[in-house]
Chain A
Amino acid sequence: MTDAFPATLTGPTSKERKYDRQLRLWAATGQQALEDSRVLLVNSDGPLGQHSTGVSGVAGVETLKNLVLPGIGGFTIVDPATVTESDLGVNFFLEEESLGKSRAEETCRLLRELNPDVQGYHYSKRIEDLTVDPDFLPRHKLIIISGPIRRSTLAPLCWQAKQLGIPVLYLHSVGFLSTFSVQLPAEFPIVETHPDPESTQDLRLLNPWPELVAAASKLEALDTLDDHQHGHVPYILLLLHFLEQWKQTHDGSAPKNYKEKTEFREFVRGQARTSNPEGGEENFDEAVSAVLKTISPFELRSSIRDIFNMEECQQLTSASQDFWIIASAIKTFHASHGVLPLPGSLPDMKAQSADYVALQNIYKTKARQDVEEVTATVRQLESQIGRESPAILDKEIEVFCKNAAHIKVVRGRGIPQISIDSDASTLKKIRGELNSEDSLISIFIATQILDSVVDEIQSSGLENERSIDDSALWHSHTERILALLTGVDGVAVDTAAREQVGRAIKELRRAQGGELHNVSSLTGGLVAQEALKVLTRQYGPLDNTSVFDGARSRTEMYRL
């Protein structure tokens, strides 16, 4: 990940210095992706009645703060509200002079101060007045919507985003509670998933290639080495050497099960020299502790097999994304070799410098050969499918090969809702979760009820007569939503589950729809984290709903 930085003698540029702490997470490629992105925030949908000017939109603004600082290209705030007294008590990106002015304009102005590299745009309008221009949404790489928002606004916006392949984040922050869901495109592949470095090691001890075998066979005279040399043989070569010895007494096969592996481990342990002043050898200790982890045949993870079997991988067309063309080439590689391309990295281990570097070169060379083979297949595929876009970059193929064992494809789902149009599987999942005692799903249900209440107030045209704290409204929508959940299996929602939902509603109504700064700030952090992962296409995005319970300091993730 450090490759992207030139080893100049002049040191980093001022931009590299400013972004140093994040470049170490997503490198120059991730940063470029951020800088190429403009994010749309739909921060409110107009007033909620005489007593409420609507959503305060603090979580949305806090989200933008966390995106402006690391330097996204730009942002757009759409918010028809004007700044009220209560906004000043909860939103940091407003000031006394903002009172009575456009909230979109004021928050935009104060957010822009955070980073001169970021462009900011604002519209004091409702989003539906802007989407009449077909070019408006496509200017953005991500849409963030602050809820509650009327269904007649949300549904078409999510639909258009889906058609355009633009991810959507829909969030609520009310009192001590918050929820948010992400709608990703139908196929969302990720190459740089950044797995734990420990899990990415692929040392091929059970199926070494000729050059590695040759390096290990030089150890035949291990016993004749002096103590210093003996104590510095890289543990990988030790294991290969002792595996050969083991095979000779085990019908030519390597340790197969846990029992044999522990026997092999004791065998290796017994080969260490203990008559030296240290009473043991560090390289043998490393070998012993690596046995259980590394003496296993290569196995293709089922998630990768699934990707190989996906239609996009099987049926390439001239319009196929780079990801699928490379995945298909790697599938061919796996079919002919039974393994994935070698990542080529080697853990640090006790060894003389030259021996370590020589061993590292054996791994690097093999990895390079594998990349070349995959690249040749990619070029073949490109010409077979008659691809018109420019050839896939060599660098992209190399990065893919390095990460081949950890690539991921997320199948994007819509923003989950509890309504008559809901997906049956979503309702079923929610219903199932409601049976477990400590589940936070009740908070998700409560925000759905809030959405319905607000939707009814806004679409009834009775904004000035009805309040968001109208108990009759809450009661009727609670019953309606619980009935929808009952409809899944015909079994009525039991008392315990009703009480759970009741508690979530009580905590939610306590705030009368208002935000608490802490909870919105935390939620803005979580939402921004997801936005960064989606925009950089690195790490693992949420799939697809997160719930935060600030009263009990917990979160849960659900796939709804």
Chain B
Amino acid sequence: MDLDAETPGSPEAPVVDQQGRWKHLYNVLSKPGPYTDEDWAPGSETIQSLESSKILGAGGLGCEILKNLALSGFKDIHVIDMDTIDISNLNRQFLFRQADIGKPKAEVAAAFVQKRVKGVTITPFVGKIQDKDEDYYMQFKIIICGLDSIEARRWINATLISMVDMEDPESLKPLVDGGTEGTSYHPAPLKGRSNLRTGFKGQARVILPTLSSCIECQLDMHAPRPAVPLCTIATIPRQPQHCIEWAHQIAWQEKRKDDPFDSDDMEHISWVYNAAYERAQQFHIHGVTFQMTQGVVKNIIPAIASTNAVIAASTTSEVLKIASSCNPYLDNYMMYAGEEGVYTYTFEAEKKPDCPVCGNLARKMNVDPNMTLGEFIESLGERAESQLKKPSMRTEEKTLYQRFPPQLEESTRPNLKLKLAELLEDGQEIAVSDPAYTIDFRFRLNFN
């Protein structure tokens, strides 16, 4: 895109009175506050170091984060986002208009903020954070994430931790993370009711790889929603959501197997809605609506501009503090809930010695020895402390189950039917890998 298109003949940016323009920010950076460190050097040194810090922003809180970083004095900002703009983004992602629907978010947002805030350069990358390697992440001073998936968070967390070289302080990249999917402090939506999850909650956290509690240490604070058992969906539906799951998971497979389901295709959603509606009528279940169908199929979480603003700004405020040392940064977790007045809780989450990513001990896991390996593997997807969807695993001596390559899958498949007690000793350690992550997870299995 050509950002200078509208000012032909003036390749240089107009001269800006920096002192005047950034007066408020410079004031704060030029005078110590009651909580600044005694060694802090106020003034030009701090300002220069802030302005030369290269920052990376990733994910769905991107509009707010880019705006905030650009107005916090950062001049070199990069942004990664794989998504394209959807009509349902317009109620909160304020850099996008009706005419932008279908375009990549990263490019539209970067161009908008770069045009509005003079002197800032924003470099977009349309893609996944997993597309980039350590060399790429090494160039930034701070990484800030507003990702909407736990998987992506765990990936960047593990990557940044593996980059730390104790000999090189520059290799330690603070990770500031914000999310608005709600936390387990106010858990328990009714079984199968995705639309009851609230859009007034979120959290901000600061992670110093290897030094502080990391995303993986805190994984069980963000437990996944329990899935509805397949037999309920297949044979004894009771809720409208069960009928929608049936239409989505079972009827589609039966009737339209060759047609990959696309949750953004209105015709597909309509088909699922109609199938679910018919099934609900058969069972005299009320309440299947188009809106609910979309909610269940796309696992929609309510979202509003104000919650995004609160969470995004609390993360960028921490980035400003880390980059300038003008105030102490968050140590290390702030949760926010806005349903009843303004409630926040700031605390220090613990670094866990048995964290599979930043600890050096295997994590303890209690299991039923009579469970088969197949059932155990299934349960790893839902257990709060693992949340692994496609695990493969081995002990020090042997491979228990391996998904790839196919020959190995075939040779280890018979193990799936064996009980854990037949494969393992009580208290034995296993290493689990999953295609979504680059690292192994170590668990010590204690028999109940």
Contacts and interface: CB of A to CB of B under 8 A. Distances in A.
A196 interface: yes
B200 A541 contact: no
Interface string A489-520: 00000000000001110110011101111110
Interface residues of B, number: 97
Contacts of B117: 92
Interface in A87-142: 88-90, 92, 95-96, 113-116
Contacts of B311: 525
B46 to A, nearest CB: 13
Contacts of B27: 510-512, 514
Contacts of A502: 34
Interface in B21-35: 21-25, 27-28, 31-35
Interface string A467-487: 000000000000000000000
B341 A540 contact: yes
A351 B231 CA distance: 11
Contacts of A516: 24-25, 28, 72, 317, 320
Interface stretch (A243-251, A310-318, A549-557): A549-557
B237 to A, nearest CB: 6
Contact of B291 (A12, A96, A352): A12
B38 to A, nearest CB: 14
B448 interface: no
Contact of A20 (B22, B239, B300): B300
Interface in A1-55: 1-2, 5, 7-9, 11-12, 14, 16-25
Contacts of A541: 341
Nearest to A111: B94
A353 interface: yes
B330 interface: yes
Interface stretch (B83-91, B213-221, B356-364): B83-91
Given A348-B192, A522-B314, A506 B199 contact: no
Contacts of A550: 317, 327
Contact of B270 (A1, A9, A197, A557): A9
Contact of A90 (B24, B32, B198, B346): B24
A495 to B, nearest CB: 15
B33 A176 contact: yes
Interface string B290-315: 11101100001111111111111110
Given A24-B199, A198-B188, A525-B310, A2 B291 contact: yes
A66 B290 contact: no
Contact of B300 (A24, A69, A198): A24
A78 to B, nearest CB: 22
Interface in B197-220: 198-200, 204
A332 interface: no
Interface string A532-559: 1000000111110010001111110100
Given A25-B198, A69-B91, A553-B334, A96 B21 contact: no
Contact of A21 (B24, B31, B92, B269): B92
A521 interface: yes
Contacts of B306: 66, 524-526, 528-529, 532
A5 B240 CA distance: 15
A226 interface: no
B181 interface: no
Nearest to A24: B302
A447 interface: no
Interface in B262-291: 266, 269-270, 273-274, 277, 283-285, 287-291
B342 A555 contact: yes
B438 interface: no
B189 interface: yes
Contacts, number: 280
A69 B310 CA distance: 15
A68 to B, nearest CB: 8
B82 interface: no
Nearest to B316: A518
A16 B290 CA distance: 11
Given A96-B14, A198-B188, A18 B320 contact: no
A542 B339 CA distance: 9
Contacts of A551: 33-35, 327-328
A197 B88 CA distance: 26
A353 B237 contact: yes
A524 B313 CA distance: 10
Contacts of A5: 289-291
Contact of A18 (B87, B236, B310, B330): B87
Interface string A319-362: 00000000000000000000000000001110111101100000
A70 B306 CA distance: 9
Given A113-B97, A348-B192, A552-B328, A353 B270 contact: no
Interface string A227-271: 000001000000000000000000000000000000000000000
A17 B317 CA distance: 32
Contacts of A555: 342-344
Report, as a range, how many residues of chain A touch the other chain.
35 or more
B309 A86 contact: no
A365 to B, nearest CB: 13
Given A7-B288, A351-B236, A86 B346 contact: no
Interface in B318-363: 318, 320, 327-330, 334, 338-344, 346
A554 B346 contact: yes
Interface stretch (B63-71, B253-261, B405-413, B423-431): B63-71
Given A90-B71, A194-B339, A524-B309, A96 B118 contact: yes
Contacts of B67: 92, 517, 521
A546 B342 contact: yes
Given A507-B35, A518-B68, A528-B306, A197 B290 contact: no
B312 A521 contact: yes
A88 B16 CA distance: 10
A71 interface: yes
A541 B316 CA distance: 26
Contacts of B307: 525, 529
Contacts of A9: 270, 273-274
A272 to B, nearest CB: 17
Contacts of B196: 197
Contacts of A70: 91-92, 304-305
Nearest to B334: A553
A554 B290 CA distance: 40
Given A2-B287, A66-B305, A553-B318, A21 B21 contact: no
A347 B283 contact: no
A431 interface: no
B327 A348 contact: no
A89 B341 contact: no
Contacts of B64: 521
Contact of A8 (B32, B290, B318): B290
A21 B283 contact: no
A444 B387 CA distance: 43
Nearest to A14: B87
Contacts of A223: none
A62 interface: yes
Given A24-B302, A25-B304, A348-B239, 9 more contacts: A5-B289, A11-B269, A194-B339, A348-B191, A349-B238, A353-B236, A511-B24, A519-B317, A525-B305
25 contacts: A21-B301, A22-B302, A25-B302, A66-B309, A175-B28, A176-B33, A176-B317, A348-B190, A349-B238, A507-B34, A510-B28, A516-B28, A517-B71, A521-B68, A521-B309, A521-B316, A524-B309, A525-B311, A529-B307, A532-B306, A539-B339, A540-B341, A542-B342, A553-B329, A554-B334
Interface of B: 14, 17, 20-25, 27-28, 31-35, 64, 67-68, 71-72, 87-88, 90-92, 94, 97-98, 116-118, 186, 188-193, 195-196, 198-200, 204, 236-239, 266, 269-270, 273-274, 277, 283-285, 287-292, 294-295, 300-314, 316-318, 320, 327-330, 334, 338-344, 346
